[in-house]
Structure formats: C-alpha cells, structure tokens
Chain A
C-alpha cells in the first residue's frame, strides 16, 4: 500500500485541520469504490461502532446487532458502486442499516406470530452486563429502567416520528442527514421531529421521568 496516499495521512493524527469527518469519509468511499480494500477497512473502523449502536438501540440484542452490523458492511461493500455522491456515505450507510433492522424486525414479528421468537429484546448476555466503569446488579437495573423509559417514549410516537427522534437524539444525526437516510425533505423531517417533541413535552410524566432518570 502506498503510504503517501492522502487518506492514509488524514486518518491518523496528522489529519488536515480543515478536513471534516464527512470529507474524510467521502475520500475513503471514493477509493473503496475503486476497489481499495484498505480504504474500505478504514471506513469500517470509522463507522462500525456507530452502526452497531444504531442497530442495538432498535433490536436490543448484542449478538444479532453484531450480525446485522456485518451484513450492513457487506451490503455497503457490494453497493459502493451505486453510491453516486460519496460525501453522503454516512447517511447512506445508516439507510442500509435501517433497512436491515426493518427486515430483521419483520422477520422476528413473523416468527413471533408462530411462537418461535419474542418481540422483546434478548435478555442481557454475559458480556452485556459488564460495564467498564461500574459493573454490577445496579447497572443491570439502571439499564433495564432506561430502556423501559425509551420504550415508553417510543409507544407515544408514530413509526416515522420515532425513527426521526431516534436518528436525531440517539444516533446524533443532523436534520440534513436524517432527510437523506429517510429520503424525505428536510421540512418533512422537521415536522415529524416537531410532533415527536410535542408529544414528549405534553406527556408530563414521561418528561419528568426522562429528566429525572438520564441526567
């Protein structure tokens, strides 16, 4: 591998100060599209944690989230040729992830109909209870309580409002990126987000619960 290629410099600490993460991704995506496996590996390095978390928030199973994350990158690798604007790599990747999550949930719903699967997330696995900072039973309780609050919030919202809300506040995407992920106009995204926030603010119990619990 040629060490002098620009993205190799940018992905280290020597990153050019004016180069944003989006620009960096665009360069890497451009190179990966032309068959550069190392550029693709750098993209995986940049986004795998983010994609994993995004999937986990929605399906709550670590093992399945890991499998789906792999699938997302496999699909991304295959579909890179169809990505016209490489500066939209992040929303494009999130769109793939969102579609995979939908497929997974649909499949799970189908199985649960016949009693083969539960729609709730899996029980915490061994490694899942090991928090780096404060392991223990309290953490499990805290985790369970947190997801219960998130579930309570989710039930208030329509599917699209929930997705916009999650993408904005859980996955930390901006409005433009959300509009690209969901293929909706920015004004439509704002409207859905506005409605979601109104519902959240109008439900005093939930607002109090969230304010008290996640501070």
Chain B
C-alpha cells in the first residue's frame, strides 16, 4: 500500500475500495476521503461499471410477458398436476397393488401351466403302459416258453394239439341236437 504524504492509493487499494470500502484500513479510508485524485480515480471506475449495467438495462429488449399471464400459466400447470400431490399416497398404493397383482397373476398362471404339463406327461405315460400291455398280453412265463414276444408263431402246432372240427363231426353234433 502506498498512502500518506504526497503518495496515493495504489491500484490494488482502488480496486479494494470499489469492492468494499469497509475492507480498507482506517488510514486508507481517511486518505480516500481527503484525496481528490484517488476519490476521482475510484469514482471514474465505479461510474464505468455502473454505466455498463445501466446500458445493458437500456438496450435489452422489454419482456412481452404479463404478470397475470405468468400467474395464470403457473397456477394452471400447478392445478393440472395438483391432484398428483394431493393423492400421492393413494396413487403410490394403487401402483403397488397393480405391480403385486401382476406378480400374483403370473405365479397363478405359471402354476396352472405346470399342472397341465404334469397331466400331459401322466397321460403319455399311461398311454405307453396301455400300448405295452397290448403288445405283451401274456404273462412273462408264457413269453419264456414261446421264446419271447418276437418268436415266430407255428400255425400248425395248435392244430396238432387240438384238431380242428371236421365237417363229419359237425354234422353229427347237429343230428344229436335235432333228436
């Protein structure tokens, strides 16, 4: 700092005085109050800066907004969404309910599907058993005698054991019936 005698406030002190005169030391403030040159330097800079703001204000376009329009828009937007605020808890509960019921429905549907699938599998197994029984109607012991289910059937063997009824035999039977 350079104050006192014929010395003046330096650049830093002038700037500090513009920012906040209270921040200067009492000595510097006293000098500023009594020194025309320093006071003028400060005032000139301040005036330029204040003019900057004044000019900006003067040449900036005027707003076409009307306070009443702003208020109307603000309150309308507020009221159109206002119900959201007043029924916040209800809306949240409803949303939760929808989500939960969605999950529950999914689970229910899944259970139903699995039951149907289980039934299909059971049916298939049952049909397989029927098919097997159709193919292997004789007990296992007979299968062993006949060399298994795939053994060739000798068509003459049963004839040898049980002779087929002859025409004579049949006519005798019919005669005895008539008598």
Contact = CB atoms under 8 A, between A and B. Distances in A.
Interface of A: 37, 40-41, 44-45, 48-49, 52-53, 56-57, 62, 65-66, 69-70, 73-74, 77-78, 125, 127-128, 131-132, 139, 142-143, 146, 150, 169-172, 175, 190, 193-194, 197-198, 201, 207, 210-211, 214-215
A94 B5 CA distance: 45
Nearest to B16: A194
Contacts of B15: 194, 197-198, 201
Contacts of B77: 74
A127 B61 CA distance: 8
Nearest to B47: A215
A41 B42 CA distance: 41
Contacts of B53: 169-172
A69 B52 contact: no
B118 interface: no
A78 B70 contact: no
Contacts of A198: 11-12, 15
B51 to A, nearest CB: 4
Contacts of B19: 175, 190, 193-194, 197
Interface residues of B, number: 37
Given A37-B75, A201-B11, A190 B52 contact: no
Contacts of B67: 41, 44-45, 48
Given A56-B60, A194-B16, A77 B23 contact: no
Interface of B: 11-12, 14-16, 18-20, 23, 44-45, 48-57, 59-65, 67-68, 70-71, 73-75, 77-78
Given A57-B56, A172-B53, A201-B15, A49 B63 contact: yes
Contacts of A41: 67-68, 71
A62 B61 contact: yes
Nearest to B64: A66
A65 B62 CA distance: 11
18 contacts: A41-B67, A65-B63, A66-B65, A70-B70, A70-B74, A73-B71, A78-B78, A127-B61, A128-B61, A146-B59, A150-B52, A150-B56, A169-B50, A170-B52, A171-B53, A194-B15, A198-B15, A214-B52
List 4 tightest A-B contacts by C-beta distance, closest first: A52-B63, A128-B61, A44-B67, A214-B51
A210 B52 contact: yes
A62 B62 CA distance: 8
